[in-house]
Amino acid sequence: MTSSDDVLATPLQYLKGVGPRRAADFAHVGLVTVEDLLYRFPLRYEDRSRLQPIASLKAGQSASVTGRILSCHLRSTRRPGFKIFEALVGDPSGALRVTWLNQSFLRDVFAPGQHVVLFGPVEMRVGGLQLTNPQYEILDDEEGETIHTGRIVPVYEKTGSVTPKIQRKLVYAAVQRLPADLPDHLPEAIRARFDYPSRMAALVAAHFPPDGASLEALNQFATPAQQRLIFEEAFLFQTGVMARRRSAAAERKPMPVGVDDRIRESARRVLPFKLTPGQKQALKEIVDDLQRPQPMNRLLEGDVGAGKTIVALLAALVAMENGLQVAFMAPTEILAEQHFFNISQLLRTSRFRVALLTGATASARRREQLAEIEAGTIHLVVGTHALVQGDVRFKQLGLAVIDEQHRFGVLQRALLRAKGLHPDVLVMTATPIPRTLALTVYGDLDVSVIRDMPPGRLPIRTLAKPESRRDEVYQFVRAQLDAGRQAYVIYPLVEESDKVDLKAATEMADHLAQEIFPAYRVGLLHGRMKQDGKEHVMKAFAAGELHILVSTTVVEVGVDVPNASVMIVEHAERFGLSQLHQLRGRVGRDRHQSFCFLLYQAPLSDEARGRLKAMTDTTDGFEIADRDLALRGPGDFFGTRQAGVPTFRLVDLIRDRALLDLAQREAAQWFDRAAPTPAAVDRLLHGWEQRFKLIEVG
Ligand code: ADP
Ligand code: MG
């Protein structure tokens, strides 16, 4: 390790001014080393190079001023409990009143004599001009001029006890210590072609912009220094994707499959309906992959209800006809059971044997099944995602299907490889990825998309209603039940251990059964029920013995009861958009007109209102995904804990789309032209998967 690496690798706790408390606060947001600190852009930049003399301020503008606190106090108002903190701040040109509303704690922050920088709106009030609710920083007298004022300064997000000002000081100290020969990750040819500054210069300028830098460009993260650092991250990411693709292409599966008329006939025999054009196209792409010597890495994307299962099953059939075994994995036991049930039905006239292997399988039975899987007398195993872990040994695993997994399947693939298996892998998801992100997120997967729906489906009618109007909804549901349909009522359950919500769901089930729908049978399903209890309820609902299913979100993915035509979501304001879309997808699976009622508790936040509006505006999953992305921003789009979705330090998936594309082209060219040795690639990508959190570690 060179000394320059040492600087970047230094744990933050060894920086002067960072004690255990601040180190812990930093660690909490993922900042552990000096490198982490420097690869976190400021939230924004503030121009303090031209601080305005107080005497020159005008109402209606935002201004930065610096001066001393002349006096300050907390003042009560006529409104009970409403307090104003007021300060008089002076500079050589004059004095200005500054007020903060309802921030009583400022009493302990400010004191007369302090040197402060303030940034905020200037307003005209009865007593003259004033600055209202400004951002503030208190300066120490000896420092300041070079770091905190007299220049464009970086303003960081507050992290626990670390204020923007403390962080500015730490970053300043850190960039001072960067050696001039800091190694640069970017290939020199690329750096030169785009005229990017060196890594060292870029780090300095991104935090402490040189005189004359454009404030506007800085705040759009469009200066050469910022662009270079963003590009660097995108380039490393895309290079890793490319390397992964290349190593996958060099892999060989045990046996490519063949397709002939006998196999086509066998597929026709199990098919209960005609495939849609979208399904046919997806199947063709998959079967083409199966016939290649390299293992397939394909994502099958299709909106809820598009009919992905049958496509996967037909692919499974092709594998089995070639003497290979298939693992079919679902995210929950309920879904695994449902797949098992459907697949067993479809394959009942075939010679293939299907088994269900879940945590609920009794141990004697499990042992028998494991022996049969190892002997190859069981051809298709349905289970949860845990299927590839642990003690399951296949005789000849040819295809792994991973259902409802928006998480790349990276983990499963890694597990399979660790077992020395290189099967074809088909990952299925109903979470439409906005086109803008697909390339980045699924960079090393081939993608098939089913865009059409099975024939005869009517778009689901969706209505958002305040809870106070639930009687109308119940009346409507009764008419549907009278007509022979079934209904879901979904309760939000933030965590399965959330006892209060669980109680609410249980009480709701009782209330509906006894008071609202006494003539109908109501079932309750939640994640904390015993396995056989869940199974019993699900089967009864699927068989039409239960008319209403009150459930927590365990039914969210995949459950298929075509006769159900009403979905009621309680507290719809608490659900995310993609979750609402998934829930709605439980109905509208047959030729009946279906309905989705989103009951909400007023008042709604703007974001919740936006989500409900998106749901009532459209049933198109792709449009929902785009709206979701717009509402939440990419950081939240996939949820933070989703393994397999890259986490970037600097790249913003929306803002930096063009740079991501550019980086992808450059990475491909670099591989082709520079023909890097495997060792060079390894060096560049050292820790790549951990870095972008593409695998779950530990
Ligand atoms: P998803 O893509 O959400 O997993 P499923 O595979 O569960 O959807 O299919 C939804 C429903 O549509 C199932 O009841 C399935 O049998 C039915 N289905 C799928 N494809 C067709 C088709 N081509 N014609 C008619 N019904 C179909
Ligand atoms: Mg499904």
Could you tell me which of 392, 322, 318, 323 has the C-alpha nearest to residue 355? 392
Average pLDDT over residues 289-307: 89
pLDDT at 634 over 90: no
% residues pLDDT > 90 (the chain): 47
Q: What pLDDT, on the 0 to 100 scale, is given for residue 434?
A: 65
pLDDT in tens, 576-630: 888 898 889 889 888 889 999 999 998 898 889 999 999 999 988 888 887 887 7
The answer on pLDDT for 360 being more than 90 is no
Residue 698 confidence (pLDDT) above 70: no
CA angle, corner 380, sides to 355 and 382, nearest 5?
55
Asked if residue 164 lies in contact with residue 644, where contact means CB atoms within 8 angstroms, the answer is no
**Spacing, Cα 435 to ligand 1 middle (Å):** 24
CA of 346, nearest ligand number:
1
Q: Residue 29's pLDDT is what?
A: 85
**Token pair for 392:** 């399951």
Q: Whose CA is nearest to atom 13 of ligand 1?
A: 307
Judge whether residue 118 has pLDDT over 80: yes
Q: Is the CB of 277 under 6 A from ligand 1?
A: no
CA 333 to ligand 1 centroid distance, Å: 20
Atom of ligand 1 nearest to the CA of 585: 3
Unique residue bearing structure tokens 């060096």: 683
Q: Which numbered atom of ligand 1 lies nearest the CA of 404?
A: 4
* 307 C-alpha to ligand 2 centroid (Å): 7
- Under the banding of pLDDT at 50, 70 and 90, the label for residue 408 is very low
Tokens 């979470």, located at residue: 431
* Distance, CA of 386 to CA of 117 (rounded, Å): 56
Q: Give residue 642's pLDDT band: very low, low, confident or very high (50, 70, 90).
A: very low
Q: State mean pLDDT over 554-574.
A: 83
Phi, psi of 430 (to 5 degrees): -100, 5
Q: What is the pLDDT of residue 538?
A: 85
Summarize pLDDT for 184-200 with one digit per residue, the tens.
889 899 999 999 999 99
Probe target for ligand 1 pocket from 555, 589, 594, 619, with the most ligand atoms within 8 Å of CB: 589
CA–CA separation, 422 and 413 (whole Å): 8
Mean of the per-residue pLDDT values of the chain: 86
pLDDT above 90: residue 461: yes
Ligand at minimal distance from the CA of 564 is: 1
- Provide mean pLDDT across the span 674-688: 75
In this predicted model, which residue has the larger pLDDT, 1 or 241? 241
Take atom 24 of ligand 1 and give the residue whose Cα is closest: 454
Distance 305 CA to ligand 2 centre (A): 7
Residue of 207 and 631 predicted with greater confidence: 207
CB count, 10 Å around CB of 247?
Answer: 12
Cα–ligand 2 centroid distance for 338 (angstroms): 10
The pLDDT value recorded for residue 52 is 86
The protein residue with its alpha carbon nearest to ligand 1, atom 5, reads: 307
Which residue puts its alpha carbon closest to atom 19 of ligand 1?
307
- pLDDT recorded at residue 242: 82
| Predicted confidence (pLDDT) per residue in 83-101, tens digit | 999 999 999 999 999 999 9
342 alpha carbon, closest ligand: 1
Q: Is the CB of 587 under 6 A from ligand 1?
A: no
Distance 304 CA to ligand 1 centre (A): 9
Best of 428, 560, 565 for a ligand 1 pocket test (most atoms within 8 Å of beta carbon): 560
Cα–Cα distance between 551 and 533 in angstroms, integer? Answer: 13
The residue that leads in pLDDT, 64 or 192, is: 192
Q: Is 589 in the pocket of ligand 1 (CB under 6 A)?
A: yes
Helices (H), 483-569: 499-511, 531-542
Task: Name the residue among 333, 326, 341, 340 with its Cα closest to residue 380.
Answer: 326
Q: How far is the CA of 273 from the centre of ligand 1 (A)?
A: 10
Residues 674 and 187: beta-carbon distance below 8 Å: yes
* 271 alpha carbon, closest ligand: 1
Top-confidence residue, 201 or 525: 201
Q: How far is the CA of 406 from the centre of ligand 1 (A)?
A: 19
Strands (E) in 366-451, as ranges, are 380-384, 397-402, 424-429, 446-450
Q: Is 397 in the pocket of ligand 1 (CB under 6 A)?
A: no
- pLDDT of 4 above 70: no
Per-residue pLDDT, 576: 85
Mind listing the pLDDT tens digit for each residue in 472-520? 999 999 999 999 999 999 987 655 455 666 677 888 899 999 999 999 9
How many whole angstroms from 384 Cα to the centroid of ligand 1?
Answer: 20
Mean pLDDT of 304-322: 94
pLDDT confidence band for 557 (50 / 70 / 90): low
**Residue to mutate (ligand 1; options 274, 308, 309, 313; most atoms within 8 A of CB):** 309
CA angle 649, 181, 1 (to 5 degrees): 75
Nearest CA to ligand 1 atom 10: 305
Distance 589 CA to ligand 1 centre (A): 8
Say whether pLDDT at 280 is over 90. Answer: yes
Return the H-helix or E-strand segment holding 69: strand 62-76
Taken in order of first residue, the domains within the chain and their CATH numbers are 50-146 (2.40.50.140), 261-450 (3.40.50.300), 461-618 (3.40.50.300)
Pairing of strands 564-569, 595-600: parallel
Q: For the segment 333-357, what is each residue's pLDDT rounded down to a tens digit?
A: 778 888 998 899 999 999 999 999 9
Q: Smallest Cα–Cα separation from 629: which of 576, 584, 582, 586?
A: 576
How far from each other are the two terminal CA atoms of the chain, in whole angstroms?
A: 25
Question: For position 526, what pLDDT does the model report?
Answer: 82
Q: Is the CB of 304 under 6 A from ligand 1?
A: yes
At 444, the pLDDT band (50, 70, 90 cuts) reads: low
Tracing tokens 């997994």 back to the chain, one arrives at: 405
Instruction: Ligand 1, residue 279: give the atom nearest the CA.
Output: 23
Q: Does the pLDDT at position 696 exceed 50?
A: no
Predicted pLDDT of residue 233:
92
Of 53-57, 397-401, 589-593, the range with the lowest mean pLDDT is 589-593
Residue 137: its H or E element: strand 135-139
429 Cβ inside 6 Å of ligand 1:
no
Ligand 1, residue 589: give the atom nearest the CA: 11
- Categorize the per-residue pLDDT at 142 as very low, low, confident or very high, splitting at 50, 70 and 90: low
Asked if residue 438 has pLDDT above 90, the reply is: no
Show the beta-strand stretches assigned E in 391-475. Answer: 397-402, 424-429, 446-450, 461-466
Mean pLDDT of 540-565: 83
Least confident of 311-315, 661-665, 687-691: 687-691
Contacts of 478-481 with C-beta under 8 Å, sequence gap 24+, read 478/517, 480/565, 480/566, 480/595, 481/517, 481/520, 481/547, 481/548
Residue with token string 């709604």 = 604
CA of 648 to the centre of ligand 2 (A): 30
Higher confidence at residue 206 or residue 14?
206
Confidence at residue 181, expressed as pLDDT on a 0 to 100 scale = 86
Pocket test for ligand 1, best of 268, 273, 275, 448 (most atoms within 8 A of CB): 273
pLDDT classification of 327: cutoffs 50, 70, 90: very high
Which atom of ligand 1 has the smallest separation from the CA of 562? 14
Q: What distance in angstroms lies between residue 584's CA and the mean position of ligand 2's atoms?
A: 13
